[in-house]
A and B are shown apart, each in its own frame.
Chain A
């Protein structure tokens, strides 16, 4: 784990950022740099993700520290930042009384486009966001998923360099979610946009992000590339076993536990992971045959064996637990 990452010129640089709401500290001296690409901002509820995003957008006034976005300093160059950043808020928000196309055009005009160009561009991004004829309907009649797509169209209408998406897939059905993730990948890979995604859904991070920032109790606990994080600290293999015995509250994965005990007798070090798989350390060819023997002896069926990788879930839970322990 490390608290500094990145190589290229950062799109986002925070130094000692502190934000307090009364006596509660939402951001506690946060320092980090985010490089171009797609970055996942992870953290449990109340970890300070939304506060961090609102601070970056200049919506909140911080008590200490400095924030630089795309080289522009807050609060002096707030307008320049908002010119170059697209923001999709987590909250359900819309301008009452407007239709979908009018809403996007309004945002385009607030970003400085002339009326005609704003209208043309709005149709273009609404097509991209998969909003069809519904664009002529009042936004108050939209479903949650439609509103999410509309917010996405509003966020990209001025072609921002950096996109900040707060829970972009919430309220979307699985098909729409995949479509949204495809669009995010498309914007990053084909159009060179830098994207910061705040989410609870680890699958979304795995599928689109190159870097991960994990926050807990108002602090950044970890920043690194997904590739580095997936590399295990110790060599070994990951084993998935067939579930045959019924689980209990005390022992959720009895087959894996049984195999682990048998491997201990064979002098092989192993750990049952949170997802029910088994990690076996430092396996060479001789160990491999002992492993198969042990499985045969205890009657456990091995379904899959692969080189061990850290799972994002493990890393996330570990970081959050460490933070909770430290704060306690």
Chain B
């Protein structure tokens, strides 16, 4: 018995706008996800690459005033997928290449360490988002409130969005700010004003399809472990299929270019294989490359964009259909 039992009392307080109820789903979902100690650890680890890229920003800005640093910086730019012209510009006059070098560094940050972390973070957060509601019939509680299916989906997607932003957008924007603060020139903001916008665009290109597919995996089953398995399987199978089918093209590429020279890496990552549409990792990587302005002008990005849009649409349609059929059964 409570200390001060007032019995039932009427309530006539103010209520918030009906348009923002999805926000409540997102907030509660984020709070619940943070209870996983594995997620907290992964998030902490996910920021380590940002420190390393931050150090590279520092080194690059130093190379503008210190001649000796330019050679190692040029080497790193080449490793990050920079073209030979860009490497030459870095050696000659780093100020002219600043926009492109910064874009390359941030793109590499997105594409290599954060793509792996993204796989883990979404693999921890997403599988339970809908599957638990289906298993425990929590959807009946949601939909007895003034909420439509699309608002429920928006709330759930926002949870994934939040965590992906935490490991990609926010560190990338921090890196940009670090770069600006470390720069010895004041016109750096004018020269690189587009980068924050490119970061936001790259995040959107990454998050929309990834969150939609992750939700579809979660809606597919009432067992979250199967949802997690299908999420990881999708990436691994895509990667392996791409690698196996592209083997011949790699060999051809290496034969054409000859063995790598001293100090040059065999940049097999940058071979534009016709099989890369099979691998979600490569499709996303290429699209982000395009967003950062590093995609070759003579190649078309449309197949990648159409594929991502189709996957996003089909995944969302599947989740909507699954929820509707659950409600109607």
| Tally of B interface residues using CB under 8 Å | 41
Interfacial chain A residues near B138, Cβ < 8 Å: 93-96
Interfacial chain A residues near B11, Cβ < 8 Å: 121, 158-159
Whether the pair A112, B16 counts as a contact (CB closer than 8 A) is yes
- Nearest-CB residue, chain A, relative to B4: A127
**Which chain A residues (117-139) contact chain B, with CB distance < 8 Å?**
117, 121, 124-125, 127-128, 132
Indicate whether A107 reaches chain B with its CB closer than 8 angstroms: yes
Whether the pair B141, A95 counts as a contact (CB closer than 8 A) is yes
Most buried by A among B2, B144, B328: B144
Most buried by A among B132, B136, B142, B147: B136
> 1/0 per position for B99-133, CB-CB distance to A under 8 A?
00000000000000000000000000000100011
Distance between A174 CB and nearest chain B CB, rounded to angstroms = 20
The residue that A82 contacts in the complex, of B5, B16, B28, B145, with Cβ under 8 A, is: B145
> 1/0 per position for A29-64, CB-CB distance to B under 8 A?
000000000000000000000000010010111000
Inter-chain CA distance A159–B11, complex, in Å, is: 6
> 1/0 per position for B1-40, CB-CB distance to A under 8 A?
1100111111111111110010011001000100100000
Distance between A105 CB and nearest chain B CB, rounded to angstroms = 9
> 1/0 per position for A96-120, CB-CB distance to B under 8 A?
1110001000110111111001000
The residue that A107 contacts in the complex, of B10, B136, B141, with Cβ under 8 A, is: B141
Inter-chain CA distance A97–B31, complex, in Å, is: 10
Interfacial chain A residues near B140, Cβ < 8 Å: 59, 89, 91, 93
- Nearest-CB residue, chain A, relative to B128: A96
Indicate whether A187 reaches chain B with its CB closer than 8 angstroms: yes
Whether the pair A113, B10 counts as a contact (CB closer than 8 A) is no
Interfacial chain B residues near A98, Cβ < 8 Å: 28, 32
The residue that B2 contacts in the complex, of A94, A107, A127, A154, with Cβ under 8 A, is: A127
- Indicate whether A128 sits within 8 Å of B7 (C-beta atoms), given known contacts A60-B328, A97-B132, A117-B13: yes
Indicate whether B146 reaches chain A with its CB closer than 8 angstroms: yes
> 1/0 per position for B125-161, CB-CB distance to A under 8 A?
0001000110111111111111110000000000000
Indicate whether B233 reaches chain A with its CB closer than 8 angstroms: no
The residue that A191 contacts in the complex, of B10, B132, B135, B146, with Cβ under 8 A, is: B10
Inter-chain CA distance A279–B110, complex, in Å, is: 85
Inter-chain CA distance A159–B15, complex, in Å, is: 12
Interfacial chain A residues near B65, Cβ < 8 Å: none
- Nearest-CB residue, chain B, relative to A111: B145
Indicate whether A186 reaches chain B with its CB closer than 8 angstroms: yes
The residue that B8 contacts in the complex, of A83, A85, A156, with Cβ under 8 A, is: A156
Interfacial chain B residues near A191, Cβ < 8 Å: 8, 10
- Nearest-CB residue, chain A, relative to B145: A110
- Indicate whether A112 sits within 8 Å of B15 (C-beta atoms), given known contacts A94-B136, A94-B141, A95-B141: yes
- Indicate whether A110 sits within 8 Å of B16 (C-beta atoms), given known contacts A91-B137, A95-B133: no
| Tally of A interface residues using CB under 8 Å | 48
Interfacial chain B residues near A109, Cβ < 8 Å: 24, 28
Interfacial chain B residues near A124, Cβ < 8 Å: 6, 9
- Indicate whether A93 sits within 8 Å of B141 (C-beta atoms), given known contacts A112-B18, A132-B1, A132-B2: yes
- Nearest-CB residue, chain A, relative to B144: A87
Interfacial chain B residues near A187, Cβ < 8 Å: 8
Interfacial chain A residues near B146, Cβ < 8 Å: 78-80, 82-83, 110-112
Interfacial chain B residues near A60, Cβ < 8 Å: 327-328
> 1/0 per position for A63-82, CB-CB distance to B under 8 A?
00000000000000011101
Indicate whether A92 reaches chain B with its CB closer than 8 angstroms: yes
Interfacial chain A residues near B132, Cβ < 8 Å: 95-97
Distance between A130 CB and nearest chain B CB, rounded to angstroms = 8
Distance between B98 CB and nearest chain A CB, rounded to angstroms = 45
Interfacial chain B residues near A158, Cβ < 8 Å: 11
Interfacial chain A residues near B18, Cβ < 8 Å: 79, 83, 112
Interfacial chain B residues near A159, Cβ < 8 Å: 10-12
Inter-chain CA distance A95–B140, complex, in Å, is: 10
Interfacial chain B residues near A106, Cβ < 8 Å: 24, 28
Inter-chain CA distance A149–B34, complex, in Å, is: 28
Whether the pair A127, B136 counts as a contact (CB closer than 8 A) is no
Whether the pair A93, B137 counts as a contact (CB closer than 8 A) is yes
Interfacial chain A residues near B327, Cβ < 8 Å: 54, 59-60
Inter-chain CA distance A190–B8, complex, in Å, is: 9
Inter-chain CA distance A124–B2, complex, in Å, is: 9
Distance between B175 CB and nearest chain A CB, rounded to angstroms = 34
> 1/0 per position for A152-188, CB-CB distance to B under 8 A?
0011101100000000000000000000000100110
Interfacial chain B residues near A95, Cβ < 8 Å: 132-133, 136, 138, 141
Interfacial chain A residues near B5, Cβ < 8 Å: 127-128
> 1/0 per position for B286-327, CB-CB distance to A under 8 A?
000000000000000000000000000000000000000001
Most buried by A among B14, B143, B327: B143
**Which chain B residues (148-184) contact chain A, with CB distance < 8 Å?**
148
Inter-chain CA distance A59–B143, complex, in Å, is: 7
Q: List 30 A-B contacts (CB under 8 A).
A: A57-B143, A59-B140, A59-B143, A78-B148, A85-B144, A86-B144, A87-B144, A89-B141, A89-B144, A93-B139, A93-B141, A95-B133, A95-B136, A95-B138, A95-B141, A98-B32, A109-B28, A110-B21, A110-B142, A110-B145, A110-B146, A111-B146, A112-B18, A113-B13, A121-B11, A127-B6, A128-B7, A132-B2, A186-B7, A190-B8
Closest 4 CB pairs of A and B: A112-B15, A93-B137, A79-B146, A159-B11
Apart from A94-B136, A98-B32, list 12 A-B contacts with CB within 8 A: A61-B328, A78-B146, A85-B144, A106-B24, A106-B28, A110-B21, A110-B145, A111-B15, A113-B13, A114-B16, A124-B9, A186-B8
Give B contacts to A, CB under 8 Å.
1-2, 5-18, 21, 24-25, 28, 32, 35, 128, 132-133, 135-148, 327-328
